Structure 1
């Protein structure tokens, strides 16, 4: 932790740990409020793409604020070796912990997806900010619109139904390459019990062609969502 941060906040317990750093609860005596401090060790970021993602994270969060569905950024501290973001302290469980429950039913997945697309579930920033969930147009550095969120939500839905991400790799660069290829697959051994309706929605959300990718409004009107994950005829 930088000395400047310690002068303003009291560092409390660690509440999370990732590949490049930690998340701790911090307390501000002036406002008597608790926050989450995301501390990243920049020396561990050997991949240029990881460094770029880190540099963009604070900028993107600042641009999106204030938004009740996005984790709010309150402060930032940076030194030569570390970056600390002071963030809104959210509920002590992540979306990942909810969606990776064993045997998650389609009805529960549909309920979560309806809440995500309506903005009712709260922030999904903790997952969609990672390479696995980034839309291809963002990776390519092109102009993008709100449909990037539909792509990310589609990947979340895929994880809910399959327990794995649709695009993967050993490094961020390999993951981005897989995202750019956009080769969406439904392995039989994983999707054997997943309905045709759910897979139809996934194809419409995780669509590389932005002009053909559905909007959030269209997703909410899909039969699978409207029927609460119950299967109907796709004829």
Structure 2
């Protein structure tokens, strides 16, 4: 059985520094950001196996051929009537606690990093890494520092080298930029472009949904970034609202695609071969991946369709508390535009989504073809405000 890596929302809690609490808050914070939801993860692992009967055993060799990839599963499948009601848990320490936190973080970061950067706060935590906001002492420019534990990454078959190779290879205005890297015997540090505006998931949680013209403005450049990745042999495999980051807090801020921890770089000698490792987040996963079939970068296009649907409506196209029902909905592309909110959305936008959330892969739009769709080409002319 291949290893399962879980990316729970609890592990990615944002840690603002502005609410009064006693020093006990620091100990709770330290506990929260240094532990994982083991019991919950084990439950999800067994639930996936029991309710979906995915033939993992026969994928073991295939996973090795894909570079020792890890089967990833997220608990983000929990049903939500609307994304507007979704909130992340956060811990808010007092100013004195913030100082203690910075001291604690500094003790875990290599001196070569600390000589150049000052530590601000934790802005995310995943199964294998922690993301910290840092500042260049010389320029006062802020960045995101991703800290990966080598040992943990190795034992979970999520090699940090693959993510590093991809980040070094890609350069696009809609993709988070790698600034520099550092490595020790136990940890790897990625200094990345910092997106200050939060993610698309949180934005939709607060505003409900975007107008069609705004959605077009945000998603068109992101689609071009996806085209760029696919052209260079990269399949993201974890496209979701959480990984779409606003570059700034400005009203017209563009979106950057982030988190290449599960991405796959196609070997040039095997460019015609597909992938088979099951990974990503359940509400965005494609039918062919659910079925254990060999898949291509078209899985990203399915996920992009889900993102487009959610951006325009504030709801996920597939949602059910029962995981078996959720996956059945995905396999059959059982979604609709019946909600009243879709009355104000153009037919072009609906057609665009329908050609992305399409079970038949031969009919699903590629990134190149999607950029030629009328909804994208008309530059919002057909979009309603």
Q: What's the TM-score once normalised by structure 2's chain length?
A: 0.44
Deviations 1:101-158 (A, max 9, x none): 445211111222222222395532259975144545556473423x333223222211
- 2:353 aligned residue: 202
- 2:296 aligned residue: 144
Instruction: Report how far residue 32 of structure 1 moved.
Output: 9.0
Which range is displaced more, 185-194 or 125-134?
Answer: 125-134
Structure 2's unaligned 5+ residue stretches are: 1-104, 150-155, 227-253, 263-279
- 1:108 aligned residue: 214
Deviations 1:136-186 (A, max 9, x none): 5556473423x3332232222111112123345679x87994686252412
* 3-state SS in 2 of match to 1:93: coil
- 1:119 aligned residue: 225
- 2:190 aligned residue: 86
Checking the alignment, whether the CA contact within 8 Å between 1:138 and 1:144 is kept in structure 2 is: no
Instruction: Report how far residue 198 of structure 1 moved.
Output: 1.6
Q: Within 2, Cα distance between the matches of 1:71 and 1:175?
A: 35
Checking the alignment, whether the CA contact within 8 Å between 1:9 and 1:27 is kept in structure 2 is: no
Whose radius of gyration is greater, 1 or 2? 2
Q: Within 2, Cα distance between the matches of 1:174 and 1:59?
A: 32
- 1:17 aligned residue: 124
Structure 1's unaligned 5+ residue stretches are: 42-50
Q: Within 2, Cα distance between the matches of 1:39 and 1:125?
A: 15
Deviations 1:60-113 (A, max 9, x none): 453353212333554476999xx7652412231145169624452111112222
- Say yes or no: does 1:71 pair with 2:222: no
* 3-state SS in 2 of match to 1:188: coil
- 1:59 aligned residue: 162
**169, 185, 196: which one pairs with 2:335?**
185
Q: Within 2, Cα distance between the matches of 1:78 and 1:104?
A: 44
* 3-state SS in 1 of match to 2:221: helix
Q: Within 2, Cα distance between the matches of 1:76 and 1:136?
A: 39
Q: Within 2, Cα distance between the matches of 1:206 and 1:12?
A: 42
Q: Within 2, Cα distance between the matches of 1:88 and 1:174?
A: 38
Q: Which has the higher contact order (CA 8 A, sep 6+)?
A: 2
Q: Within 2, Cα distance between the matches of 1:93 and 1:76?
A: 26
Q: Within 2, Cα distance between the matches of 1:108 and 1:187?
A: 19
Instruction: Report how far residue 230 of structure 1 moved.
Output: 2.0
* 3-state SS in 1 of match to 2:134: strand
- 1:230 aligned residue: 382
Checking the alignment, whether the CA contact within 8 Å between 2:148 and 2:160 is kept in structure 1 is: no
- 1:44 aligned residue: none
Checking the alignment, whether the CA contact within 8 Å between 2:333 and 2:358 is kept in structure 1 is: no
- 1:46 aligned residue: none
